[in-house]
Amino acid sequence: MSSRIEDMEKLMKGQKEVSRSVGFDLEDVEDPYGTMGLACYDCEGDVFDAQLLLVKLFARLGLHRYNMSKGTKFELHRVKKYNKSMGCLCSYYITLVAWDPATRSLINFQSGVGQLDFGILSVRCFVARPQGVTESSPFDPLDFFRRPDGDQRFHWPSDFSDRNRFYILSDSELQNNDWPRLYVELAICETDRGIYLDSTLAPLQILEVAIETADEDVEPLQAKNATVYIKFKGLAYAVYGELGAHVERKIVVKRSINERSGYLTLVGGYGFSIGENTDSRSMTHPHSNRKPGDSIFCSKAVGYDRPLNISVPRFFSLTKPPHS
């Protein structure tokens, strides 16, 4: 009986720690029954982690949200650790090291990102802060679980000649802003959960970016609510469209930032080759025999030697996974 009481005390203490830390820094929290539903991953060691590519993208998304709100230019240096919830749609609590080019210094930073839908880009960044700094807006579960507003079936415009409607990024702006590439990489990895290698995304080239905003008085690059149209190439094996790194592809992303909570939400779809007739098809719901989450590697690309399924252990308690 005393053992059961001790376990319950540990559980109650652990739940308080989870609430206090908003899901971060839980390595030392005891969870005797594994009921808190979070797994802790240490990224400092030389251990293979098939989720690390997506985690790094989510870390960059937190930095992107912070940079937009604070006018900084923080960059990802490395991921230190992360906690992850269970399920197909997960929340990630990431502790990372950011590089501040203005001060030429490293900063410990925390990024919290949750997945809102499966098989497409639909994510929400609910924490973006230097470690140890409390955000002015506390975590709001109502805002976090609220579905994205509006029609999420995005279509590619027939042309971008209307400069009152679209802002086209110049070559220098493409070089000085890495977030269009981040949006593309997130859309690819959220659509195909089988991608886990940095080398798959390394050849990507951003060809053209157009921004459509509802508020004409806002600088398009800093618009909190905008639809972004991106043309890119370099993806050899795509879920949708033709195969080949030479194929030019499209992605549409709706960006929105909640004024009250500050949460950044990205929703979008990609895949059609330039020249395809997409008038009757939504970017987020193309006609395809592929089920959400299926990996397209080895099933569409003859000669590609990556195994179709990678076995990655999942740990659902707050104990650190054993290194193997």
Residue bearing tokens 């985690």: 55
- What pLDDT is attached to residue 293? 36
169: DSSP letter: P
- pLDDT band for position 86 (50/70/90)? confident
- Specify whether the backbone of 222 is left (phi greater than 0), alpha (psi in -120 to 50) or beta: alpha
Task: Tell me how long the chain is.
Answer: 324
- pLDDT band for position 135 (50/70/90)? low
- The dihedral built from the CA positions of residue 244, 248, 254 and 255, taken in this order, carries a sign that is positive
Whole-number Å distance between alpha carbons of 312 and 322:
12
What does pLDDT average to over the chain? 76
Name the residue with higher pLDDT: 299 or 68.
68
161 phi and psi angles, rounded to 5 deg: -75, -20
- What pLDDT is attached to residue 292? 37
Whole-number Å distance between alpha carbons of 296 and 307:
11
**Mean pLDDT to the nearest integer, 279-287:** 41
**pLDDT of 14 above 70:** no
Tell me whether residue 286 is exposed, middle or buried, using C-beta atoms within 10 angstroms of its C-beta: 0 to 12, 13 to 18, 19 or more. middle
* Most confident segment among 19-23, 35-39, 157-161: 157-161
**pLDDT of 4 above 80:** no
Residue 84 host element (H or E): strand 75-85
- pLDDT band for position 315 (50/70/90)? very low
**pLDDT of 9 above 60:** no
- What pLDDT is attached to residue 296? 36
* pLDDT tens digits for range 218-272: 889 989 999 999 999 999 887 777 788 998 999 999 999 988 889 999 998 765 5
- What pLDDT is attached to residue 17? 54
Lowest mean pLDDT among 58-72, 139-153, 185-199, 201-215: 139-153
**227-230 CB contacts, 8 Å cutoff, 24+ apart:** 227/154, 227/252, 227/253, 227/254, 227/255, 228/180, 228/183, 228/252, 228/253, 228/254, 228/255, 228/268, 229/156, 229/157, 229/160, 229/166, 230/180, 230/183, 230/184, 230/206
**pLDDT of 175 above 50:** yes
Tell me whether residue 253 is exposed, middle or buried, using C-beta atoms within 10 angstroms of its C-beta: 0 to 12, 13 to 18, 19 or more. buried
* Most confident segment among 21-25, 159-163, 181-185: 181-185
Name the residue with higher pLDDT: 273 or 127.
127
**In sequence order, which ranges of the chain are alpha helices (DSSP H)?**
2-21, 52-70, 141-145, 171-176, 179-191, 198-201
Name the residue with higher pLDDT: 69 or 23.
69
SS3 267: strand
* pLDDT tens digits for range 42-72: 998 877 888 999 999 999 999 999 999 999 9
- What pLDDT is attached to residue 92? 95
Structure tokens at 241: 């469209």
Pairing of strands 249-257, 166-168: unpaired
